[in-house]
Amino acid sequence: MANSDYKIGVVGVGRMGANIARHLSDEGFSVVVVYDIVSENAKELAAELDSAAADKLTQVTDLADYIITVVTDDSAMRQIYSDDADDSLLKGASGKVFINCATISPQVHVDIEDLAGKHGAESLEGCMASSITQAREGTLYLMCGGKKETFDRVKTILDSMSVSLRYIGEAGKAAQVKALVNMVMNINTAGLAEGLGLGAALGLDLEMLQEVFAQTGANSRVLETDGEDMQIRDHECYFSAAHASKDSGIALDLADAAGISLPLAQATKDQYDRMIELDLGDLDKSGVAELTFPGRGKS
């Protein structure tokens, strides 16, 4: 099956969704329709890709055989897959395959798979552990959950989107792993902000400090991606503080259900919640340094 034989729709064309659509189009896939709650986003991208800009979700299901969704949260996910609403991706969904890429609660993925099955469709979670640049370049780290036969059916699309592709297991399992990935990443980010903030308060050379961190047990991927940004206050958003709060919250909900305590994850979420309270939630997660560096007025 040639790439052009895959008729793809993308629902949720913010920066991640739009760049996934652009990459797939570049790779020769037929991105036939896009949809966004902000209609102007869909219209602009549709003009760029020579595809249709859907006014309704039902148009996406009608035009595409494979639908990729990248929405904000559990509520948005349940809305686009409503079993009751007149406008839903489930209308006329028989034979379609949904690939859901947002970071949402694992149970929602399980519920969506059940709903899709009721309508003769298939659903797969394609959890992304990467950023906007990787979406555009097709170098995402993708963790997938759902039925193995569904994963195999869409593997050509997934391979194009990713540099590393991993099938985790049944529905909900990839989302659990993704929640833990983001929880640990958020803890590392907040910890780095505190280390550099304290270094600044002590008058240490922060470039030297980061070099030492990189060669010792203080090293992390976050140091590579966020250290300099924290120092120079460059918080252009690739992964927002608001999303960090949401994702840490998902992990904490999983911990509550499992009956365990995660004090570091809770403290980290409290920091990102504080950013939201201070109207800093749209900054990149590196902006947590605004709470820890001396003289920045947010501590």
Which tens digits make up the pLDDT trace of 135-173? 999 999 999 999 999 999 999 999 999 999 999 999 999
CATH 3.40.50.720 segments of the chain: 3-170
**How many angstroms separate the CA atoms of 81 and 96, rounded?**
13
Side chain identity at 80, as an amino acid letter?
I
Return the CATH number of the domain spanning residue range 176-291: 1.10.1040.10
**How many angstroms separate the CA atoms of 52 and 9, rounded?**
9
pLDDT band at 129 (very low <50, low <70, confident <90, very high): confident
CATH 1.10.1040.10 segments of the chain: 176-291
Instruction: Give 3-170's CATH code, choosing from 3.40.50.2020, 3.40.50.720, 3.90.550.10, 1.10.10.60.
Output: 3.40.50.720
Centre a 10 Å sphere on the Cβ of residue 78 and count the other Cβ atoms it contains. Answer: 16
**How many angstroms separate the CA atoms of 208 and 228, rounded?**
11
Collapsed DSSP state (helix, strand, coil) of residue 56? coil
Predicted confidence (pLDDT) per residue in 249-286, tens digit: 999 999 999 999 999 999 999 999 999 999 999 999 99
Site of tokens 């709060």: 245
Look at residue 99 in the predicted model and tell me its pLDDT. 98
Output the pTM of the full model. 0.90
